[in-house]
Amino acid sequence: MGEKFRILLADDEPYYVEMANGALDIASVGMPEVDVEVTDTRDGLFAFEHVIDRGADLLISDVNMPRLSGPESVRKMFESGGAEREVPYVAFLTNGITSASDRQLLAELMEDPRVLGILPKPINSASVAALLRIASVRKGILGIGVLPEDPAVNRAVETVRSLTMKACSMHGIPINGGGRVQIGT
């Protein structure tokens, strides 16, 4: 068993939660140094409270969520004073962003190095494996010896960058920096 890696998966659509959990299971098989533990929720406010109360190593959240949107919960998390402010975030997008304020907030969040990217739904194991590798390198699970020059890390970064650029283009989210995905914090 590898080092525990806690993922909070926030999506209000059970179908996508099931698909994401399956993709995480498949992705983690190729990374024995990571022991993935997934908690899921169907509510944006609960996602925020969970990260504050119990922590997480990665938050994957749908944008359109009940009670508190994904971008709003992340903004609150990043503005908090505790360790949760360092939790990396990945946004899920499906049919589009229903709120102009969420679109703007997501564009602003994309400037933050804690935001790893935006994935279109349904996600697949390759995109999840890429995210898991990037987040594990950032957490230090894969060791300091794993450098950003590592071909597996480079492929992971390019996969997430490509998916992020596609999702931003599809949903009219302006991003600066060419969809940069950062390994370091």
Characterize the bridge pairing of strands 89-93 and 34-41: unpaired
CA 147 to centroid of chain Cα atoms: 21
Dmax (CA) of the chain: 44
Per-residue tens of pLDDT for the chain, all 185 residues: 677 888 899 999 888 888 888 888 877 777 777 788 889 999 889 998 988 888 888 888 888 888 988 888 888 888 887 777 788 888 887 766 667 776 777 777 777 777 877 777 777 777 777 777 777 777 765 543 444 555 555 566 666 666 666 665 655 655 554 444 443 43
Q: What residue has token string 């140094």? A: 33
Q: Do residues 4 and 43 make contact, with C-beta atoms less than 8 angstroms apart?
A: no
What is the reported pTM?
0.76
Domains and CATH numbers, the chain: 3-171 (3.40.50.2300)
Characterize the bridge pairing of strands 58-62 and 89-93: parallel
Q: CA 5 to CA 132: how far, in whole Å?
A: 9
Predicted pLDDT at 175:
56
Predicted pLDDT at 179:
44
How many residues does this entry show for the chain?
A: 185
